[in-house]
Amino acid sequence: MKSQLTKKEQGVVKAVLDRFNNQRLPALIEMKKHVDGGGLLSDSAIRLLEDSIEEAKSGQHFAEKHSEFETLIAQVSSLYQQITAKALENQKAK
């Protein structure tokens, strides 16, 4: 079921997407490069990843109401999974 965004929801979406695009995504891309290169995640990187995952989980209900965001949330969830799986693999190899 797709519904129109309210003005308030539009503002929230803009703020969340701006934060994601300007802060979270660049950090996640760097994390992915780091673990793909065999690196381990620092405590601060793990906290950022955990915070990002929690933020994404809180957006799940929103995507259920506004299906146009389902693909984005699925792609971001996949990125989190890739980072955590590779970091775990690297940790086990050390």
Structural domain range at position 81: 43-94
Distance CA(18)–CA(16), nearest Å, equals: 5
Q: For the chain, what is the mean pLDDT?
A: 88
Query: Would you say residue 58 lies in a domain?
Result: yes
Within-domain flag for 17: no
- Between helices 43-65 and 70-93, what is the axis angle to 10°? 150
pLDDT digits (tens, 9 = 90+) for 46-56: 999 898 888 87
The reported pLDDT for the residue numbered 25 is: 92
Is the pLDDT at 1 greater than 60? The verdict is no
Q: Which residue has the tokens 């190899």?
A: 93
Confidence of residue 37 (pLDDT cuts 50, 70, 90): very high
The answer to whether residue 69 sits within a structural domain is: yes
Cα separation of 83 and 41, whole Å? 9
Q: Is 77 part of any domain? A: yes
To the question of pTM greater than 0.85 for the whole model, the response is: no
CA 61, distance to chain mean position in Å, is 15
Q: Indicate the number of domains in the chain.
A: 1
Confidence class of residue 41 from pLDDT cuts 50, 70 and 90? Answer: very high
Q: Is residue 33 part of a domain?
A: no
Question: Within a domain: residue 8?
Answer: no
Does residue 94 fall inside a structural domain?
Answer: yes
Task: Give the side-chain half-sphere CA count within 13 A for 11.
Answer: 3
